[in-house]
Amino acid sequence: MPKDAARPSLHNRTTVRISMLRGLFAALDRLSPTLGGAVSERLFFTPPPPRRSEGERMLRRARRFTVRAGRHRLAAWRWGSGPAIVMLHGWGGRAAQWTSFVAPLVRRGFAVVAFDAPGHGASSRAPSSAVDFARALEAVVEHVGGARAVVAHSLGSAAVALALRGRLRCRRVVFLGPAADPPSWVGSFADRLGLSPRIVERMRQRSERRLGVSWSELSIVRHASTLDTPLLVIHDRDDREVAWSDGSAIAEAWPGARLFSTTGLGHNRILRDPATVSEAVGFLADDHASRCPSCGALAASGWCAVCVERELFDPDLRRAAIAHQA
């Protein structure tokens, strides 16, 4: 007999845990719904344990730095130089998921900045939410001196939309597999644990007081009409975690947004698909390319590399470069 044969399977352990929690919440509903709200809030806002990613090797090639966002210590990485494209993962994700975007964006003359959101990856462990994601994003953008664009996945998209209604300013946004209304996830969470309506209501009240934001503020569709940042939505029709209809609804409600649909990639493989990456990079770089004022060649930002090298040894070109930058 294999040594692990006598151990309960992960499925069985999860089933037992869910059964115990259902019993606990049934008792709390009778004895103390307020305590039930506190316990359910803690469970709902606690991120899953960090998962390993194939992209972790790419993190070692980046410059790592740390950003403080309130009580959170955020682990962040930067590749390349130039205008910053900031990447924000979703619930249970991490910065390493974005490494397929690094080389294409750096080649276009951008710097790529990715970070682990509060409670995720190498950042400090703590309860987290879309509100915490949004505040962390604002802190990272401020730390790097601004963002030309932001790319977000899943729950991260709701955080970006919230931040855009606050302090965040950027020229373009890309959402991949975006969640249109994250508070709606509470329904399946409550069904799974057998939470009564009054426990759910106490959970909502506690979280809104703690975060200082109402659940209704986290709906992208409800507030999309107030946003005018150019947006590309990329969503897979076979996404089993966040329905394609979420991305479609966001694109329809957001003025000028464009929807790019894929098939067969699901919720996470879309982040590594070459065609998807190419579509996103093309959109991000669309207003970035310009022509070198010296030779007329396309250049990601300002002068091309050949003319920059020549300019170092040519006083006339150097004066022209200074005049162009003025």
For the record, the structure tokens of 136 come out as: 């962390």
Question: What was the pLDDT predicted at 55?
Answer: 81
Q: Which single residue is written with the structure tokens 């669309």?
A: 286
Q: Is 82 left (phi over 0), alpha (psi -120 to 50) or beta?
A: left
Mean of pLDDT over the chain? 88
Q: What value, to the nearest 5°, has the Cα angle with vertex 23 and ends 21 and 26?
A: 110
CA 317 – CA 322 distance, rounded (Å)? 9
Q: Which CATH superfamily is domain 56-188+206-285 in?
A: Alpha/Beta hydrolase fold, catalytic domain (3.40.50.1820)
CA 118 – CA 125 distance, rounded (Å)? 7
User: Global pTM?
Assistant: 0.83
Q: How many CB atoms lie within 10 A of CB 299?
A: 21
- Identify which of 108, 164, 129, 88 has the alpha carbon closest to the alpha carbon of residue 287: 108
Q: How many CB atoms lie within 10 A of CB 292?
A: 17
Percent of the chain with pLDDT over 90: 77
Beta bridge partners of 235: 261
Is there a contact between 67 and 116 (Cβ–Cβ < 8 Å)?
no
For residue range 308-323, what is the model confidence (pLDDT) as tens digits? 555 455 555 445 544 5
| DSSP 8-state class, residue 166 | T
Is there a contact between 179 and 156 (Cβ–Cβ < 8 Å)?
no
Question: What was the pLDDT predicted at 169?
Answer: 95
- Identify which of 203, 268, 258 has the alpha carbon closest to the alpha carbon of residue 25: 203
Question: What was the pLDDT predicted at 66?
Answer: 97
Is there a contact between 117 and 52 (Cβ–Cβ < 8 Å)?
no
Instruction: Give ranges for CATH 3.40.50.1820 in the chain.
Output: 56-188+206-285
Q: Is 260 left (phi over 0), alpha (psi -120 to 50) or beta?
A: beta
Residues in the chain, pLDDT under 70 = 1-14, 16, 287-326
Rg (CA), the chain: 23
- Establish how many alpha carbons lie within 13 A of residue 77's alpha carbon, considering only the half-sphere containing its beta carbon: 23
Question: What was the pLDDT predicted at 4?
Answer: 40
**DSSP 3-state of 149:** strand
Question: What was the pLDDT predicted at 125?
Answer: 92
